[in-house]
Amino acid sequence: HVGPRPIPRGVQAGRSALGCCVPARPPERSALTTQVHWTLERGDGEAVGMSGAKVLNQQVDGSASYKRAAPIFHQEDHKMHVLIIATDYKHTGRPLSCTAAARGVEELSRQCGVQWLTSLYDDECTPERVLKAVEQTTSKCGPDDVYVLYFAGHGMGAEHTGAEAAGAGESLVLVDRNGQVSSSTLLPGDELAGAVLDGVSPETRVLFIVDTCHSGTPLDLRRGRWEGRQVIALTGTQDPHLVEEDRGSIFTHALLLAIDKLSKVGRDNYSVGMLFNAALHENELIFRGKQDLAVQPAPRFSAAAMAWPLVPPPGYRAPLSRCCGPEGFRGDAARRTVSMTLLPHVRQEALNVPVSIEEYVSHVSGQSRYNMKLHRACSAGCATGGCAVQ
């Protein structure tokens, strides 16, 4: 594989990935932008990251304790399978703008060389078609493969579906063939997760990415038969105390910006934990923390134990980075997989700002600053001596 341009040896802490000098410490931000609600949903005595605990708006271990790197490093025998599900609910009274962000994920997947890519948009997102797509895509997964399921749309809590008394979890809100929503178009998260579990090999790595404007998370890996499996769920939801609104899929764009920035500082072999920490940073820096971000590994697994699978080639730029120019946002933002409903929530002055490599990597490492994998240039022998970005 052709690696990114090696970072010169002797890069100093105060030098950015773009070659610009920046202050040794970032400027202080206001209390409003730095305030984070630290919540850990777990039972007493459970170990964080190994109990299936859901960590909300809090950094996790960003080290790399996995044995299998991203498929980009093993293209001969490790494949990627991505299923994208997104609808804008155009024919309902609660439309969203999810498909623009979802097409950004599709664009990323193509750049990453995903071998099996399936996308369902708008009226294609019926429960029957979604479950059929899950069956078809999971059947192709081998033990060394990675399966990614991305959903963007509405979610609905069990208290609104009548499933709470039965002990069921929350649901994804899908549509019928006419784009309408009803009780028959709700797909319980447990049913979706069960379909994936039944379809993939026990050794297949599974990553759920769910972006909703609902306050709850449709997937709960503590339910069902996930214990011991290499499975992680990343979710973006809204604060339950705020009115639900279309914010243009902030969580998805925070993820894409995180991948963009990690690429800029020379990282391409990192864990899901590091990516989650980087997305938290972008959520606060760019979007003022308007989205709640959560990560949940299966019981007896951790976010540090899975390599982030979607690694783009050097030079990748997130859609939001591309549509921000010196004179503001370009008018063709919508054609660049950015919804116009997202732009009012963006701190434009914080986009495309050079970062200190050492400080940034240290920050997104979370609880551990060590045990970090070599990036692609170093592992390919492009750099003599030690890795400059560790």
Is residue 39 domain-resident? no
Is residue 324 domain-resident? yes
C-alpha atoms less than 13 angstroms from C-alpha of 313 in its C-beta half-sphere: 7
Is residue 259 domain-resident? yes
Give residue 8's pLDDT: 29
* 3 state SS of 156: strand
Report d(CA 321, CA 300) in Å as an integer.
37
Residue 207 in contact with residue 272, Cβ under 8 Å?
A: yes
Is residue 131 domain-resident? yes
Give residue 195's pLDDT: 96
Other beta carbons within 10 angstroms of residue 352's beta carbon come to: 19
DSSP 8-state code for residue 3: P
Give residue 53's pLDDT: 86
Is residue 254 domain-resident? yes
Token output for 112: 């990453």
Domain count within the chain: 1
Give residue 373's pLDDT: 47
Give residue 224's pLDDT: 72
Give residue 15's pLDDT: 31
Is residue 10 domain-resident? no
Is residue 211 domain-resident? yes
pLDDT-flagged residues of the chain (< 70): 1-51, 158-169, 214-216, 239-246, 325-327, 331-336, 367-390
C-alpha atoms less than 13 angstroms from C-alpha of 245 in its C-beta half-sphere: 10
Domain range enclosing 172 = 55-365
Report d(CA 372, CA 27) in Å as an integer.
27
Is residue 47 domain-resident? no
Q: What is the CATH number of the domain that holds 204?
A: 3.40.50.1460
Bridge-based pairing state of the strands 328-329 and 324-325: antiparallel
Give residue 75's pLDDT: 79
Report d(CA 387, CA 390) in Å as an integer.
6
Report d(CA 369, CA 390) in Å as an integer.
9
Give residue 328's pLDDT: 73
Report d(CA 156, CA 227) in Å as an integer.
25
